[in-house]
Amino acid sequence: MNTASPSKTSPNSRVLMRAHALTHPGAQFKEAITVADVMASKPVAMPLKLLDCCPVSDGGAAFVVSRERTGAMGIRVRGCAQAHTHQHVTAAPALSELGAEIAIARAKAASGVAISDVRYAAVYDSFTITLAMLLEDLGLAGRGEAAARVRAGYFGRAGAMPLNTHGGLLSYGHCGVGGAMAHLVETHLQMTGRAGPRQVRDASLALLHGDGGVLSSHVSMFLERVR
C-alpha cells in the first residue's frame, strides 16, 4: 500500500530485472517482457499489478564465510549499519523518513564510503515500487529520478551502476530469506570475477541493501574487494 503511483515510476525496473534474469541459468523466469506486459498484467492490490510483484518461489542460496582467504581475491566488509523504525505499516514514519535513509547514512559513516565510490548495487526488490523507493532512499537515484535512470540503462549490466544482475527477487525469484541471500551470492560472484556472461566491468566496491517487514527493517552494507 502506498501513496505513490508505481504506474508512473516502476514497470521499467521489472523489465530490467527480467532482462537480467534471462542471463542466469537458475532464474525462475526465462521469457523477456515489456513495459506493456507489466501494465497489462492483472491487478493484485492497486496500483500494483501482477508483474509489479515478486513471485512466490521455491529455491535457496548459500555462501561460505571463511576467516582465511580462499583465493587470490578476498571480500572485506567495509561497514554495515541497520535501522528499524516500525513493524506494522500504520506505525511507519513519513515516506521521506524511512529506515533505508537512516541505515545508509550510518553505513556511510561507519565505512567512510560514499555512494559515488560504489560500483555494483544489490538492492531488495520485493515489488517494483519497493525498488524505486529504495534506489532513491539510498542515493542511487535522486528523488523521483529512479525510473528515468532505469530507462536510461544506468542500472543495466553495462551501465554506470549494475544492479541485481541475477534478476533480483522480481525475476530470479523470491524464496523467502534465500531470495535476499541470492543478492549477496550474486554480489560475491561479481566481485570475484566469477559471474560468467553476467560479469560487470568493475565490481570492486558493492552496496547491499536488505529490507524486511513492510519497509520496517533495513540493513545497508558496503563490501570491498581486497587482494
Member of 25, 46, 65, 158 binding other proteins (CB under 8 A)? 46
Is residue 96 involved in binding other proteins (CB under 8 A)? Answer: no
Please report how close the Cβ of residue 128 comes to other proteins at its closest, in angstroms.
14
Is residue 1 involved in binding other proteins (CB under 8 A)? Answer: yes
- Rounded distance, CA 167 to CA 26, Å? 10
Member of 43, 112, 142, 144 binding other proteins (CB under 8 A)? 43
Those residues with Cβ within 8 angstroms of residue 152's Cβ, 6 or more apart along the chain or in another chain: none
The backbone torsions φ and ψ at residue 107, rounded to the nearest 5 degrees and listed phi first, read: -65, -40
Residues contacting other proteins: total by CB under 8 A: 14
Is residue 66 involved in binding other proteins (CB under 8 A)? Answer: no
Amino acid at site 182:
A
Question: Contact region for other proteins (CB under 8 A) — 22-30, 42-50, 138-146, 183-191?
Answer: 42-50
Member of 25, 65, 66, 90 binding other proteins (CB under 8 A)? 90
Query: Footprint of other proteins on this chain (CB under 8 A)?
Result: 1-3, 42-48, 88-91
